[in-house]
């Protein structure tokens, strides 16, 4: 039977979704019996595993894929495809200019500090390296960021189901919230990691045929580039120098804003992703986690950017003022246009999996930061482990309820990708300057870090307000986000340095294992892995492949 | 602890079979540059997913067998405390010494 119109959901499609739900919930309940302590639940046994108390030992390939999947939320799948439909191949800069170099940097240079300092969260590193106020500032801002992001995933899921399956938006939000609650409250971080790995494969199997069938429909890359309206849509760098590219950005915004600040800020300091690497069984596993994730990540534009390009060719009216034709709908529209029933259900399940994995990642990071960095530190010290386990579970439930609220908040924004990068430019961009100075410059003082972080975040807020008032104008919202992140990072960097030279730094004896060159080698009792498995060697291979891809799609 | 390859493997075994069987019963075409091609993509993709699921479960099973072979068999001397502890008593079995799900 020849396909004549968009596919609509049939029984087999619903059946695929139901089978997936059964497995997701089953994994959570199966892992429940392994959750003995708060650290089992919140950290997947990382810290207590070192003392031999935990029954949890997660292989590196699992933490690697979870590291990747925690980022595979709405922004990755729907957002990148939407960006590709709007800005073209330049969207691949998020991978080949931003993510891959940042993941290599994290693995080689930063992970040893995170892992060896035996911290339970990123804010806890800030307390050890700097002081309590710096930790508090980061803990509260991170908690706010995670629930904002989590709500965005809920909202993205709801609009897909409303559009494709006809489900009411409110019911979709609550249903998704209940499912994520069920498997994160039972199995904690381990359950979230296990489901993220399952979701990774589902996302690949659900989206790959879309690219394959799209490619078969056009025949060649030349045919696709011919069909795109502007030459800049099929090139990464060709129109960057002139500034007249589809993304409307210049070299400074692209290289410094996206390639350095936003990407390194996200991949190297966001506890959501760091938490997955820290669940690895040893330091070598933790270092390899971002590397294992980077190899598939390098190919992800095939699953996200390429369908976005196909969508804008198939539906040139995308992006018009009609709300139903938003760029965000590029992937669901393409699925309905290309997939038959069965595959359509699998594609929908892949989208559902990506949103749930993005949401669960945020919720599990939120419950850890809330329990250890806010509740245990400021509200109830010296309680029993069982008490903190209970609080961790309660924080999971409360985090999800707040996410439902923020899902309704996101409804007011025109594009999820712009919303996301706005959030990152507020929180991650200044934080990266703090970490860079904290980890690699021992003169950085505690109060320098605190005031630098406050000033950097303040600069982002002021920049945003000036943009909203029309006093700062950029040709696209994305270009504004890139420049805002550069401003926030620079202000944080400069203020931190200035105040550090005016205030007293920590004694070197207190910085052991926390700053580059201060006693990090002392605790290194691991034997060196084989040459080809060293993070530095694998990192060089990744960077080489990235350079080649940049040249091919110049 | 649960090997994550089992849920992944069984999920794709079931979804693969579902897609392949449904696609076989519902012929369809998809458009290529050379015109419509008479194949429901559900069939080859379902078979591919099924094989992936089978491979994943097999790998998990293989590792389980290897690990079981490598584990040393505990040598228990007759009359020792450990051997006495392993003797079944009336009303008690191995499950009596293990924590229940509620306890854990």
A-to-B residue pairs, Cβ atoms closer than 8 angstroms? 107
Please state, in angstroms and as integers, the Cα–Cα distance from residue A70 to each residue in A145, A188, A271, A303, A370, following that order: 15, 14, 11, 16, 19
In the structure, what pLDDT confidence band is assigned to residue A502 with cuts at 50, 70 and 90? Answer: very high
CA gap A375, A447 in Å, rounded = 23
Q: What is the pLDDT of residues A407-419, one digit of tens each?
A: 877 766 656 666 7
With CA atoms as reference, report the closest residue to A112 among A220, A255, A274, A257.
Answer: A274
Q: Is B29 on the interface with A (CB under 8 A)?
A: yes
Q: Taking a C-beta distance cutoff of 8 angstroms, is the pair A331, A311 a contact? A: yes
Identify the pLDDT of residue A49.
Answer: 41
Contact yes or no for A342 and B18 at CB 8 A: yes
Q: What is the pLDDT of residues A388-409, one digit of tens each?
A: 878 888 888 888 888 888 887 7
CA gap A35, A186 in Å, rounded = 8
With CA atoms as reference, report the closest residue to A108 among A254, A275, A255, A277.
Answer: A277
Q: Taking a C-beta distance cutoff of 8 angstroms, is the pair B19, B51 a contact? A: no
CA gap A23, B9 in Å, rounded = 11
Backbone angles phi, psi at A58, to 5 degrees: -100, 125
Concatenating the DSSP letter of every residue in A312-368 gives: HHH-TTTTSS-GGG-GGGHHHHHHHHHPPTTHHHHHHHHHHHHHHHHHHHHHHHHHH
Q: What is the pLDDT of residues B13-41, one digit of tens each?
A: 999 999 999 999 988 787 777 778 888 88
Taking CB atoms and an 8 Å cutoff, what residues of chain B touch A217? Answer: 30-33
CA gap A452, B5 in Å, rounded = 45
Count of CA atoms in the C-beta half-sphere (13 A) of A421: 24
In the structure, what pLDDT confidence band is assigned to residue B92 with cuts at 50, 70 and 90? Answer: very low
Q: Is the dihedral of CA A548, A475, A481, A173 positive or negative?
A: negative
Contact yes or no for A340 and B23 at CB 8 A: yes
With CA atoms as reference, report the closest residue to A537 among A21, A142, A104, A26.
Answer: A104
First to last CA, chain B: 14
Q: Is A133 on the interface with B (CB under 8 A)?
A: no
Average pLDDT taken over every residue of chain A: 80
What average pLDDT does this structure show over A122-134? 87
Does A473 have pLDDT greater than 80? yes
**B47, burial (CB in 10 Å: exposed 0-12, middle 13-18, buried 19+):** middle
Does A120 have pLDDT greater than 80? no
Taking CB atoms and an 8 Å cutoff, what residues of chain B touch A188? Answer: none
Taking CB atoms and an 8 Å cutoff, what residues of chain A touch B4? Answer: 27, 62, 194, 197-198
Concatenating the DSSP letter of every residue in A421-447 gives: HHHHHHHHHHHHHHHHHHHH-TT--HH
In the structure, what pLDDT confidence band is assigned to residue A102 with cuts at 50, 70 and 90? Answer: very high
Residue of A17, A44, A343 for testing the chain B interface, max B β-carbons within 10 Å: A343
Taking CB atoms and an 8 Å cutoff, what residues of chain B touch A342? Answer: 18-19, 22-23, 26, 40, 42, 46
Concatenating the DSSP letter of every residue in A77-93 gives: IIIHHHHHHHHGGGGGH
What average pLDDT does this structure show over A103-132? 84
CA gap B41, B28 in Å, rounded = 8
């Amino acid at each position: 039977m020849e396909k004549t119109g968009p596919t609509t959901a049939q029984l087999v499609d619903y059946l695929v979704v139901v089978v997936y739900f059964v497995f997701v919930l089953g994994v959570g309940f199966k892992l429940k019996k392994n959750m003995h302590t708060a650290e089992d639940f919140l950290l997947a046994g990382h810290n207590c595993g070192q003392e031999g108390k935990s029954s949890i030992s997660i292989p590196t390939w699992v933490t690697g894929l979870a590291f990747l999947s925690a980022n595979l939320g709405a922004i990755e799948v729907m957002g990148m495809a939407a960006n590709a439909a709007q800005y073209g191949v330049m969207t691949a800069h998020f991978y080949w200019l931003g993510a891959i170099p940042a993941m290599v940097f994290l693995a080689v240079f930063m992970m040893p500090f995170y892992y060896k300092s035996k911290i339970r969260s990123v804010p806890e590193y800030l307390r050890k390296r700097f002081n309590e106020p710096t930790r508090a500032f980061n803990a509260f801002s991170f908690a706010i960021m995670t629930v904002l992001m989590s709500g965005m995933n809920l909202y993205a899921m709801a609009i897909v189901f409303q559009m494709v399956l006809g489900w009411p938006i409110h019911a979709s939000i609550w249903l998704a919230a209940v499912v994520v609650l069920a498997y994160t409250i039972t199995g904690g971080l381990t359950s979230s990691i296990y489901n993220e790995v399952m979701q990774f494969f589902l996302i690949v199997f659900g989206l790959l045929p879309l690219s394959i069938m799209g490619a078969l429909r056009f025949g060649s890359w030349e045919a696709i580039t011919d069909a795109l309206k502007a030459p800049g849509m099929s090139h990464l760098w060709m129109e960057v120098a002139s500034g007249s590219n589809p993304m409307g950005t210049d070299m400074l915004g692209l290289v410094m804003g996206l390639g350095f600040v936003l990407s390194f800020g996200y991949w190297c300091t966001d506890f959501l992703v760091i938490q997955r690497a820290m669940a690895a069984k040893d330091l070598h596993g933790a270092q390899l986690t971002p590397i294992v994730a980077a190899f598939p990540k390098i190919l992800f534009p095939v699953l996200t950017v390429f369908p976005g390009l196909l969508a804008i060719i198939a539906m040139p009216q995308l992006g018009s003022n009609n709300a139903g034709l938003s760029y965000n709908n590029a992937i669901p529209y393409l699925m309905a246009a290309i997939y038959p029933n069965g595959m359509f259900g699998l594609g929908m399940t892949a989208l559902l999996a990506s949103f749930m994995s993005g949401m669960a990642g945020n919720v599990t990071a939120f419950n850890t930061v809330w329990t250890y960095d806010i509740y245990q530190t400021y509200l109830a010290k010296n309680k029993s482990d069982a008490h903190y386990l209970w609080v961790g579970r309660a924080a999971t439930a409360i985090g999800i309820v707040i996410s439902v609220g923020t899902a309704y908040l996101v409804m007011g924004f025109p594009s999820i990708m712009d919303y996301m990068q706005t959030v990152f430019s507020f929180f991650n961009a200044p934080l990266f300057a703090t970490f860079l100075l904290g980890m690699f410059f021992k003169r950085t003082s505690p109060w320098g870090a605190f005031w630098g972080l406050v000033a950097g975040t303040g600069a982002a807020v002021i920049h945003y307000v000036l943009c909203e008032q029309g006093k700062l104008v950029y040709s696209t919202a994305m270009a504004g986000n890139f420049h805002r992140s550069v401003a926030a990072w620079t202000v944080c960097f400069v203020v931190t340095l200035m105040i550090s030279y005016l205030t007293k730094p920590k004694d070197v004896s207190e910085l052991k294992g926390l700053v580059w060159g201060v006693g990090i080698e002392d605790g290194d009792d691991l034997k060196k892995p084989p040459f080809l498995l060293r993070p530095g060697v694998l990192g060089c291979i990744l960077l080489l492949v990235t350079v080649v891809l940049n040249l091919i799609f110049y | 602890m649960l090997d994550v390859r089992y849920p992944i493997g069984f999920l794709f075994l079931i979804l693969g079979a579902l897609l392949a069987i449904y696609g076989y019963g519902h012929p369809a075409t998809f458009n290529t540059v050379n015109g419509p091609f008479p194949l429901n993509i559900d069939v080859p993709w379902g078979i591919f997913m099924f094989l992936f699921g089978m491979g994943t479960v097999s790998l998990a099973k293989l590792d389980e067998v290897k690990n079981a072979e490598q584990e040393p068999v505990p040598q228990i001397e007759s009359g020792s405390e450990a051997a006495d502890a392993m003797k079944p008593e009336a009303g008690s079995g191995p499950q009596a010494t293990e924590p229940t799900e509620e306890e854990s």
